[in-house]
Structure 1
Amino acid sequence: MTRKTPTRPYHHGDLKRALLEASLELIREEGVDALTVAEVGRRVGVSSAAPYKHFADRQALLGALAKEGNRRLGEAMVAATQGSTDPHEAFRLSGVAYIRWAAENPALYRIATDPAHVDYTATSHDVDAPEALKGSMETFWPELAALVRSGAALPASHPLVQQLQGRALAQGMASLFVSGVFASLGITTADAERIARAVTGEDVPATPRRSHPPPRRGSSAT
């Protein structure tokens, strides 16, 4: 594999941000396994010691990427709900955005949803949830855990159970894109929007049929 030379040598400014952007570029091109603090520093064009002032090790870098990924995912979900005052419709639109974002950012999605890098007990986020999504983006996981651990009844109509149903659907669909299952069937990232809208309850009209055959068995997402 040919090693890339730094395309934007770092001189002054926000080194931490530059390192994160280089990390995102690296995982898009070569996958998460290729990520190292040293390689990211080399891409930015700084000394071998400089990146470690911001990220003590690979785990710290992955944690920062998880936070960045969740920030970007949250922003995509919030943007999708702008103008919606109906909580149910807002939740559906946020689910569509979730699936689409995961399909378009598979490597970062894996990091952003990995419990090794994400504290699911936290109730604070970098993205302010709009009023229509309050309670679904901010405190859902801790509240759900408390409900289940309490041994209380779990009626299908309970708001937390309904939210879990929607989240399970969105994460399941996202996983089908990220794992490469859909890619092996010739279903591409370009199809994510249509599929997401359909599984969240919208009747999606037909589109022109694609002529290219599905990829060979063994195809997977990066």
Structure 2
Amino acid sequence: MPVSRRIKKKSADAYHHGDLRRALIDAAAAAVAREGVDALNVSSLAKRLGVTGGAPFRHFESRLALLVAVAEEGARRLLERMDAAAGSTLDPLEKERARGIAYVRFAVEEPGAFRALTHADVVAASALLQQMAAAWQKTMDEVLGRDHQGVSSPALVSRSAGMLAAQALTYGLARMITDGLLGDLSAEEAERLTYEITGVLGVGLGASS
């Protein structure tokens, strides 16, 4: 048997034994990175992977379910990176700055996952992504100094103004980079740019205010 035919048979056998789910998630992330969420086509993925058009639906009931899987896996990796970055400092505002920088770097390194986990329809279909968003909001409330009685600390709110602007800007910056609006930036270049921008906005400064 020719080598190429042996490889093809081995790949098909591997998919029948459960690797197709993993292959679909990886292929979907790559496709979304190239073309965007709305352009994802499950039939094209099946053809690319050398399986029948119906094979993907034995693992994912719909195109949206596949996108949710891509997004949830990406969200877990993103959370790990952001938490690791935040662990380098004790200051609450600097923690958020570190998380923002890690967020942008993740977007550059994993644009397919980033696009999926920030797409409104995908978020609406994922309880996990919604729970993560709620947890993020709780963290922000703590940084802003809101206690359980709804009382806010004016000093902390004042100190957080720059950080909140930076948080909004890091999302926009991540989208601009993944959409190619700033050229072909490396992860290191994107990280330096995010650090400079959040510094200009005064994140972590104003301790005397």
Residue type at the aligned position of 1:188: L
8 Å Cα contact 2:81/2:102 also seen in 1: yes
8 Å Cα contact 1:102/1:178 also seen in 2: yes
Residue 167 of structure 1 is matched in structure 2 by 167
> Are 2:188 and 1:188 aligned?
no
Give 1:194 deviation, angstroms. 0.9
Residue 195 of structure 2 is matched in structure 1 by 197
Residue 124 of structure 1 is matched in structure 2 by 131
> When you count helix as a share of all residues, which structure comes out higher?
2
Residue 53 of structure 1 is matched in structure 2 by 58
Within 5 Å, give how 1:89-168 maps onto structure 2.
89-119=94-124, 124-125=131-132, 137=136, 139=138, 157-158=156-157, 162=161, 164-168=164-168
Aligned-partner SS, 2:122? coil
* Larger gyration radius, structure 1 or structure 2: 2
Q: Distance in 1 between matches of 2:174 and 2:55?
A: 36
- Alpha-carbon deviations, 1:24-58, whole Å to 9, x = none? 23333454454222222233333322211222222
Q: Distance in 1 between matches of 2:120 and 2:153?
A: 25
8 Å Cα contact 2:32/2:40 also seen in 1: yes
Identify if the C-alpha distance between structure 1 residues 68 and 92 changes in structure 2 by more than 3 Å, giving closer, same or farther.
Answer: same
Residue 77 of structure 2 is matched in structure 1 by 72
Identify if the C-alpha distance between structure 1 residues 138 and 168 changes in structure 2 by more than 3 Å, giving closer, same or farther.
Answer: closer
Give 1:141 deviation, angstroms. 8.2
Give 1:140 deviation, angstroms. 5.4
Which of 35, 39, 46 is 2:44 aligned to? Answer: 39
Q: Distance in 2 between matches of 1:33 and 1:75?
A: 27
| Aligned length in residues | 180
8 Å Cα contact 1:123/1:142 also seen in 2: no
Q: State the structure with bigger RCO (CA 8 A, min sep 6), 1 or 2.
A: 2
Aligned-partner SS, 2:65? helix
Q: Distance in 2 between matches of 1:20 and 1:71?
A: 14
Residue 176 of structure 1 is matched in structure 2 by 176
Give 1:158 deviation, angstroms. 3.4
Q: Distance in 2 between matches of 1:80 and 1:58?
A: 33
Q: Which runs of 5+ in 1 are unaligned?
A: 1-5, 126-134, 203-222
Q: Distance in 1 between matches of 2:155 and 2:181?
A: 30
Aligned-partner SS, 1:175? helix
Q: Distance in 2 between matches of 1:140 and 1:84?
A: 16
Over the matched positions of the two proteins, sequence identity in percent amounts to: 38
TM-score, structure 1 normalization: 0.62
